[in-house]
């Protein structure tokens, strides 16, 4: 009996020590790890405040340690046009949010759905929305009634999709993305930049045509008219500009 009592006496200091440790640890977690700064990187379509509200979205989100641990075990809520987000902590007061947005090259309006179908560099439909995003060109003239998310644009001709992606990628590369790309039944493309129309013709030499367009467009600022690149070849390099009132 005496031995048992001695063992119990020895356990009490250990138990109290564990309680004290947990109590001090809890107090530090509550008092020290408070959110005072939020850093948001990689976002273009949403303001920092919007991203912050999506991530710090419950009553415990004032605690940096809680926020960090929370997103180690679960994904952030789905945000339109955002692929994923990574949440990290800079102890003790800063949460850093790295945003990875979906790379959009263009969109097609689907009258049957009343929505826009946005596609990426591979022609994959990554988002459908009624929203029209500035800086992403609208494509018209394509025969589409429906799309499936995360599958390629269902164009009948594979070459048409290939040509369209080459064009949109090249326009983005040279930072001259138009508001509107018109595709016609005669397989030609017209790019609209406000009051300027750039007639590219067919997909032949499209890279060279877009390169020259990138040199010419700044010189046409404030003008109205049509820029004729459809006849451009390596041997015929004239690019007429037809002014309009």
Do 113 and 96 lie in a common domain?
A: no
Q: Are 134 and 97 part of one and the same domain?
A: no
The pLDDT score that the predictor gives to residue 135 is 92
For 38: left if phi > 0, alpha if psi spans -120 to 50, otherwise beta; the answer is: beta
Residues 114 and 232 in one domain: yes
Q: Any idea which residue has 């045509």 for tokens?
A: 209
Output the pLDDT for position 113.
87
Q: Are residues 238 and 122 located together in one domain of the fold?
A: yes
Q: Is the pLDDT of residue 21 over 50?
A: no
Residue 168 lies in a domain: yes
* Final residue belonging to a domain, choices 69, 101, 133: 101
Query: What pLDDT sits at residue 28?
Result: 53
Checking if the pLDDT of 14 tops 50, the result is: no
Cβ neighbours for 196, distance < 8 A, ≥ 6 positions apart:
217, 220, 223, 224, 225, 226, 227
Residues 120, 97 share a domain? no
Sheet of 82-90, strand order: 37-41, 94-101, 82-90
Whether 15 has a pLDDT exceeding 50, the answer reads no
Tens-digit pLDDT profile for residues 65-87:
889 989 998 888 888 999 999 99
Task: Answer with the residue of higher pLDDT: 32 or 156.
Answer: 156
Q: Using one digit for the tens of pLDDT, what is the confidence trace for 116-155? A: 999 999 999 999 999 999 999 999 999 888 899 999 999 9
Q: Domain for residue 24, yes or no?
A: no
pLDDT for position 237: 80
Assigned domain for 23 exists: no
Looking at the structure, tell me whether residues 227 and 114 fall in a common domain.
yes
In terms of domains, do 111 and 91 share one?
A: no
Q: Is residue 8 part of a domain?
A: no
Q: How far apart are CA 34 and CA 198, in angstroms?
A: 55
**How many domains does one find in the chain?**
2
| Percent of the chain surpassing pLDDT 70 | 87
Does 199 map to a domain? yes
Distance CA 69, CA 90 (A): 13
- Residues 96, 116, single domain; the answer is no
Q: Which of 17-21, 46-50, 80-84 has the lowest mean pLDDT?
A: 17-21
Residue 212 falls within a domain, yes or no? yes
The pLDDT of residue 12 is above 50: no
Q: Say yes or no: 204 and 110 in one domain.
A: yes
- Whether residue 19 lies inside any domain: the answer is no
Same domain as 232, residue 125:
yes
What's the chain's average pLDDT?
87
Query: Is the domain of 200 the same as that of 233?
Result: yes
CATH number of domain containing 146:
3.40.50
Choose one of 101, 120, 152: the last residue of a domain: 101
Domain that holds residue 238: 106-243
Q: What are 222-238's pLDDT values in tens digits?
A: 999 999 999 888 888 88
Strand partners for 140: 182
Residue 27, pLDDT above cutoff 80: no
pLDDT at 94 over 50: yes
Look at residues 72, 101, 130 and tell me which one is the last residue of a structural domain. 101
pLDDT of the residue at 18: 47
Do 37 and 82 lie in one domain? The reply is yes
Residue 59: which CATH number? 3.10.20
Decide if pLDDT at 17 tops 50.
no
Can you spell out the DSSP letters for 150-163? TSB---S-HHHHHH
Structural domain includes residue 2: no
Q: How confident is residue 100, by pLDDT bands cut at 50, 70 and 90?
A: very high
């Amino acid at each position: 009996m005496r031995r048992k009592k001695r063992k119990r006496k020895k356990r009490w200091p250990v138990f109290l020590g564990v309680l004290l440790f947990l109590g001090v640890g809890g107090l530090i977690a509550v008092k020290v790890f408070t959110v005072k700064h939020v850093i948001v990187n990689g976002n273009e379509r949403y303001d920092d405040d919007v991203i912050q509200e999506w991530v710090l979205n419950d009553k415990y989100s004032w605690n940096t340690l809680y926020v960090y641990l929370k997103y180690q075990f679960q994904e952030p809520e789905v945000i339109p046009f955002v692929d994923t987000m990574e949440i990290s902590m800079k102890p003790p007061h800063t949460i850093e949010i790295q945003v990875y947005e979906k790379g959009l090259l263009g969109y097609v309006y689907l009258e049957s759905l009343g929505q826009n179908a946005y596609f990426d560099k591979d022609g994959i439909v990554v988002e459908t929305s009624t929203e029209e995003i500035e800086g992403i060109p609208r494509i018209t003239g394509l025969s589409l009634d429906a799309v499936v998310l995360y599958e390629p644009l269902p164009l009948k001709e594979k070459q048409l999709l290939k040509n369209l992606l080459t064009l949109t990628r090249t326009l983005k590369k040279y930072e001259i993305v138009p508001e509107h790309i018109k595709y016609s039944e005669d397989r030609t493309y017209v790019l609209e930049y406000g009051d300027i129309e750039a007639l590219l013709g067919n997909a032949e030499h499209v890279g060279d045509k877009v390169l020259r367009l990138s040199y010419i467009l700044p010189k046409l600022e404030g003008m109205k008219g049509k820029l004729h690149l459809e006849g451009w070849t390596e041997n015929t390099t004239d690019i007429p500009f037809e002014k309009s009132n």
